[in-house]
Structure 1
Amino acid sequence: MASVKKEASATETIYKVLFAISFVHLLNDAMQSVIPAIFPILEQSMNLSFAQLGWIAFTLNMTSSIMQPVVGWYTDKKTSPFLLPLGMACSLAGMVGIVFSSHFSYILLSVVFIGLGSAVFHPEGSRVAYMAAGKRRGLAQSIYQVGGNTGQSLAPVMTALVFVPFGQFGAIWFTLVAALAIAVLIFVSGWYRSRLVAFPRIGNKNRKKAANPKRKNQITFAVCLLVFLVFARSWYVSGISNFYQFYLIKNYHLSISHAQYYIFVFLAAGVAGTFFGGPLADRFGKRNMIFWSMLGSAPLAMLLPHVRLFWVYPIFLLLGFIIMSSFSVTVVYAQELLPGRIGMVSGLIVGLAFGMGALGSVILGNLADLYSVRFIMLLVSFLPFAGVLTFLLPNDQTVKAWEMEQTR
């Protein structure tokens, strides 16, 4: 009877938990989005250069990204359900710091706390989604990731509605967001702890099952290539979300508030792409979806810097949807490559790969100072062509066979 209950708990889809963790993902990523949202305000109030703005984005993403695989590796071995609200408390401290920071160095320190909170949340949040998924892993990951992408898409709206009228002090509202997230995570953590019996951690014995050296090398190559593809996609999205607003202001003579709505359209289209990408991958294959997402967006990315303002909205609608349609797909694909290492894999794909993309913020910021924002928009437009390397990834049937080898 106990084994039947254990099996049922592992195969049942728990929607209330999925929507709860997705909602917190929205709140968490909305708080992270405060940082790029406040860039135009900080540029004016603190006289920051593009390079300094790039360093702020780099600090946030690298703090979050480097720690995510570490947190995932640790929690793959040891149960830590209540690490989730504890991490969110770090984000709360960071938001308080943003409100009262009066110097560039204090902004960086505050951003470190927000990054640490995000580093704890993402691998553990992905684990909760996996535990609540039952047999519907693709759908569960889409629900979870849509929350985060929705939070990220709010950045330009926050700039227009919060930071333009209220300035830096407008960040005080997001301390309430962090407090709400902590309350929801206390509930989620209680459910998480109650389900641990159905999802035991991997013991050393299971880890030694593997792997002939050839298979291990094939899996390592596939994971590294997948991380590179996510890096290319992230670098492009980073260029649009962090710097295209300045391109609109300088080249089309838009106000700060008006420019934000264009960025919002791109990010909101990405939310839709993230949600529909999972079901589309179930039908057409995960590798095919990754390939289509990258190369399908490449012509639009090449057109974007050359079109009249009228065409930016429709291009952003298509571009955001297509390029982000592989977001949740890459996570599920990686989880199948390395079954049983849910936390580490989620941290690696969503975290470390995005941290590599954060290097782009620093490089692009410096290039914008040296040359122009137009130059970096032309430069990043070539990145989606990296999708041609998708052909080097194993197909879905091969990945499934490797997964069965590792879990036998």
Structure 2
Amino acid sequence: MPKNPTITLLSLGHACVDVYQGAVAALVPFFVAERAYSYAAVSGVVLAASLLSSVAQPLFGLLTDRWTMPWLLPLSTLLGGAGIALGGVSGSYPLTLASVAVSGIGVAAYHPEAARVARIAAGGSHRAMSWFSVGGNIGFALAPLLVAAVVAPGGLRTTPLLALPALVGAVLCLPVLRELERRRATGAAPEGVPRPDDPASFVRLSLAVVVRSVVFVGLSTFVPLYAQQRTHGGPAAGTAALFTLYAGGAVGSVTGGRLAERWDRVTVTRRAYLLMIPAVAGLVLLPGPALYPCVALASAALFVPFSLQVTLGQDYLPSRVGTAGGITLGLTVSVGGLASPVIGALADATSLRTALAPLILLPGLGWLLVRALPDPAADHRTAQDPPPDPDGSCQQPLSVR
């Protein structure tokens, strides 16, 4: 973990929030088993969590660019947990959709403000921002284990117990809020001279983020069911595949931050998109247990650019870092949900393998979008910018504007 206590707290809080994004996919096999939902129906559940989240995150980003709202951190964490906790209580499909949608709004409210505070606390360190992202990856990875431990023994009626991480996350936010208030009282230092916005590069990066999102959410939604089919295993086989997909993300995010210190962020991101192609192909096409190492490789490739895309987006829009964080950090796990019903409908009409096959080609489109992007940190570092701290221990003041 980094030496910076604020980054550590934000990373742990990020884990508590993103448990609820991972929990939606982890609940899919239980919805199929207990309620006989079709592929299209469970895709609708993922869509409900993703649709409002994908729309709301940029809106919350705009709000946090205009006003600082650190109180959103604990409030949104609790809202994200409440939605998932209620998701399994009612057997009504519309109420289930409404519950996971509430969770999606909570997740949407959290990320832009958290990304803004993490960027300042990181002091320009890519590695520190990668640790903040790792918190989300850990939350994703723990989600299938938590859901299996809570829901498998007692069924969907036990989902209220899944609110516990939200309570922990809200408590972890309190020291961050106290630090913000202390900085406000003592006077905050300026955040440096902003660089000019580069909206064209930001749009291209955002389109690449959408491509990655479709691949990631498509896999996270259906890989538990696909693993059961390909390995002829039970729910444990699906849980293992989903855990591998999420756990590999933690390794990928830390690796991305380290690689960005050796090469520039665009080069690392571009190579990660190329690596996704054979990794996803192996996951979809190889039979039996060979699926699992391909899941791990695909996960690493998907998450190496995760934090790098967030900092790139913020550097392309330095005057609107909340908006940039809301789009790049939020869209990575929300917009892909818009494509999941299409994948589900195709799987119902053909087979799950056929429906997942288009995901092999999408990373190539992502590579085309990022291959010529500039890395603003390499060309526009100003004299007033603090030097990056490789360990994220630079205690840059948490400006509250």
Normalising by structure 1, report the TM-score.
0.86
1:149 equivalent to 2:125? Answer no
Q: 1:40 aligns with which of 29, 34, 40?
A: 29
Q: 2:182 aligns with which of 190, 194, 204?
A: 194
1:374 equivalent to 2:333? Answer no
- Residues 100-115 of structure 1 mapped to structure 2, 5 A cutoff: 100-115=89-104
Equivalent pair of 1:22/1:145 in contact (CA under 8 Å): yes
Aligned to 1:321: 300
Aligned to 2:158: 170
Aligned to 2:362: 383
1:103 deviation in Å? 0.7
1:348 deviation in Å? 0.8
Look up the equivalent residue of 2:101 and give its one-letter code.
V
Equivalent pair of 2:19/2:143 in contact (CA under 8 Å): yes
Secondary structure at the counterpart of residue 195 of structure 1: helix
Aligned to 2:146: 158
Equivalent pair of 1:91/1:116 in contact (CA under 8 Å): yes
Secondary structure at the counterpart of residue 100 of structure 1: coil
Secondary structure at the counterpart of residue 154 of structure 1: helix
1:67 equivalent to 2:19? Answer no
Equivalent pair of 1:249/1:259 in contact (CA under 8 Å): yes
Look up the equivalent residue of 1:54 and give its one-letter code.
S
Look up the equivalent residue of 2:168 and give its one-letter code.
L
Q: 1:311 aligns with which of 290, 305, 321?
A: 290
Corresponding pairs, count: 381
Closer, same or farther in 2 for the Cα pair 1:252/1:50, shift >3 Å? same
Q: Distance in 1 between matches of 2:101 and 2:247?
A: 27
Q: Distance in 1 between matches of 2:33 and 2:200?
A: 45
Q: Distance in 1 between matches of 2:333 and 2:277?
A: 20
1:32 deviation in Å? 2.4
Q: 2:5 aligns with which of 16, 31, 51?
A: 16
5+ long unaligned stretches in structure 1 = 1-12, 211-215
Equivalent pair of 1:290/1:387 in contact (CA under 8 Å): no
1:335 equivalent to 2:322? Answer no
Aligned to 2:395: none
Look up the equivalent residue of 1:53 and give its one-letter code.
V
Equivalent pair of 1:336/1:403 in contact (CA under 8 Å): no
Identity %: 28
Closer, same or farther in 2 for the Cα pair 1:157/1:53, shift >3 Å? same
Aligned to 2:235: 256
Q: 1:281 aligns with which of 238, 256, 260?
A: 260
Q: Distance in 1 between matches of 2:241 and 2:292?
A: 6
Q: Distance in 2 between matches of 1:391 and 1:36?
A: 28
1:142 deviation in Å? 0.6
Normalising by structure 2, report the TM-score.
0.88
Equivalent pair of 1:337/1:403 in contact (CA under 8 Å): no
Q: Distance in 1 between matches of 2:370 and 2:34?
A: 48
1:183 equivalent to 2:171? Answer yes
Look up the equivalent residue of 1:356 and give its one-letter code.
V
4+ residue runs of structure 1 moved beyond 4 angstroms? 199-202, 402-405
Closer, same or farther in 2 for the Cα pair 1:115/1:338, shift >3 Å? same
1:99 deviation in Å? 4.3
Q: Distance in 2 between matches of 1:46 and 1:373?
A: 20
Aligned to 2:67: 78
Closer, same or farther in 2 for the Cα pair 1:368/1:268, shift >3 Å? same
Look up the equivalent residue of 1:32 and give its one-letter code.
Q
1:390 deviation in Å? 4.2
Between 34-43 and 305-314, report the one with greater CA deviation: 305-314
5+ long unaligned stretches in structure 2 = 386-401
Q: Distance in 2 between matches of 1:402 and 1:363?
A: 42
Partner deviation per Cα, 1:89-145 (whole Å, 9 max, x = no partner): 322432342242221111111112211111111111111211211242x12211110
